[in-house]
A and B are shown apart, each in its own frame.
Chain A
Amino acid sequence: MKKLINDPGAVLDEALAGIAAAHRDLKVDGENKVIARAGGTKVGKVALISGGGSGHEPLHGGFVGLGMLDAACPGEVFTSPVPGQMLAAAQAVDGGAGVLFIVKNYTGDVLNFQMAAELAAEEDITVETVLVDDDVAVQDSTWTAGRRGTGATVLVEKIAGAVAEQGADLAAVAEMAKRVNAASRSFAVALTACTTPSSGKPGFDLPEDEIEVGVGIHGEPGRSREKLRPAKEIVATALDAILADQPLAAGDETIVMVNGLGGTPLIELYVVFHEVATALADKGIVIARNLVGNYVTSLDMAGVSLTVCKADADMLSLWDAPVNTPALRWGS
């Protein structure tokens, strides 16, 4: 294993120290492992908290700031955070208008956030929880832990964050978060496996000419193992899976994210985006907004995920609202 770390057990603490040193707009509570806005939450604003295992940076800490999250709770690498973290975060950022937990649908995250919500309720903090479960690679969700939460998390956090910033109440913020999740689908393909610091070995073996189609962001297996093929065909596979699950019509407006899984050069992501844009244009589907880059990574995994959100006018205008976080920044 080759990593720029000191000690596999210290990665999270040291990365948090680095985040604290790098970003003045963030306040890092190293004890409770909470990343929050330095300025705190405006009284009366609904606070958004997300979290999950580390190793997906910039998710979630990189999305803390004006117009997006109020706090993030990073767990150990690929391990859900513990309820105490979310409770500490909720206590730190509750502005009196309640807290929205944005939770990616993994058993560990769901259970820990659920316990945190119970603890918060005991402290008289009102909590609503929204599950993100956009990964269409997971079929038969009655026979599994359900669809995994992946790329749509960024869209949910951005759009719900914007509506919260505008002063919406907790129910309305939760409602918008659910709408964005319901409108979003993702699908990922891995070219290589990722290696966690603590295991030191790639999570799975992938021969030099094969790809994992439908991979999860912790290296969970996908629908199938297939031969490496051109970007155009990989994009077709991902788009087919997404559109089979949520058909889109000509004229529909979308927000599209082409997301690198951590080890993929940006130039390849642009090649992929070109294919996505071409394929959607052929169907008359409009890419109204887009993100191309590393947003929800899987450590050093080479590969790409595609997220398509069928966006209505509200979502688009909330998308355009100012955001000022380490990883997403626009407007003013």
Chain B
Amino acid sequence: MIDYEPVLIIITPVIAASIISFLSPFLKTERTKKIQKYIAIIGLSLPFFYLILLYPTVSIKTIQYNMGGWATPYAITLIIDPFNYTFLIISSLITLLAFIFSMKDVKKAKAKFSFFFLLMVAGIYGVFLSVDLFNIYVFFELCVITSYILVTLGDQKGSLKAAFTYLILGSIASLFFLLGIGLLYFNTGALNIFHLSTLVSKLDVTIQLAVFTFLFGAVAVKAALPPFHTWLVDAHSTAPSAVSAVLSGITVKIGLYIFLRVFTMGFQLQGMTEFLLILGVVAALGGVIFALFEWDIKRLLAYSTISQMGYIVVGLATFSAIGVAGGLYHIINHAVFKGLLFLCAGAMIYRTGTKDIRKHNIGTTMPVTLITFIIAAFSIAGVTPFNGSVSKSIIEASLSNHPLVWFFLLLTCIGTITIFSKILYYSFLKTAIHNKIKQPSQEAPFSMQLPMVVLAFFCIILGAFPHIWLDNIILPATSSIIGGYTTIQIKIFEPMTILKDWLLIGFGLLLLKIVISRAQYIDKIRKRIVLPNLNIKVVMMMFALTLILSLFKFLN
């Protein structure tokens, strides 16, 4: 029986995009433009509902489809196994909600926006579904090129420079990815990931080392790990909010997805775990520290994306079942609450027009945005009933033999609490406390509130009932990647963790007090932080890659 499921998931956005592009010359009036929106929504929501229907079959067997009917290791195969099922579900949910949000938010080129959004979604599904290395490269390139175009749709002048830097660094990463594939193909003669996992371990260590450097260089740029993260802040802060929600929620995760797919392929390189732990901690702490200096809300969120990515990399670094389970769970949680935060930021910018949190003074005129923002802030900080705390406690549980890393992660928790209480204070509470008069409620339009409420709802569900999600989705996913089924006991609702959470919040608010009192001093520092231009970013990247290559050559 040929199972067609994966093909239907990838073809739906493609067909919807081509229908939209084919209809666009005939649809000139405003009413008919609505048709394009509804086609796009159908094209996005069908895969989501279809994936939910697919869950029973995925939990039993891996769905596999060989393109064109050729033999397994040589044809391009699309698979849905528990591991990429989690990524597919979360990306279809976030892209659907982000598109609903963008219907009102995007002011320019409305018709073409849905076309590019659909092609980006097709690229995302193409990467998650396919198992052939070169195929992952092609669909990843489709997703990245459409995101360049979507970033230039940002209303600011800066979006052009950001898009250009993003384009150049993105294409260098793709070239590294290609070189990695080329070396692998030259030595093993195979492109299918499962087929390669048997062949790579037989290669001698030096070739594995070179392939690791190339593939890691590409993955590190895409997942915005520290030495290569500079493009992310400009690109995500100048893109339209719906696009930056998808970029921060999904596109950055593609880098980690490829990281997991590729590096569980049997690379025997010593020192990988320590190296990744250091990278994760530097990302987590650096992102938070830089975020403290920012006043632009979207740049703040972009820096906190970098720090949360560091969190996930720390989780994945140990390659132990608990660590990878925590990392996967945090990938889903981060996609949910970061998407929610960017949508809230979009609603705030839509209503006040500026990105500067000092000029927002929304007070309580936007109740829905305020509540959803508080939920998201609590869940990113890792407070008990919300979803951040579950995955953070699992990751901390996996760091039993690295106490120092555990301590640094606590510091990032405090810093994250400070960042988001800073936004809360400047955008909302400052005006609510000072002028008591009741301003009229200028809440964002309904089509913006709906995605925010749904995402906040998911924030609570994912956190309050962790066992449902763990046993049904996360643990089968980890066992399909790492192998070896473990049961994870979560000590969430014990008084100890609740006490720890509120202690951290206390420290966070203390740090906030210092940040507010030193506001002018921070402004002076921020002006002097040298903003590296494009050339220095490429120099940093090549220097980091040389370091990795020589470090690993020395170790092996």
Q: Do A and B come from the same complex? A: no
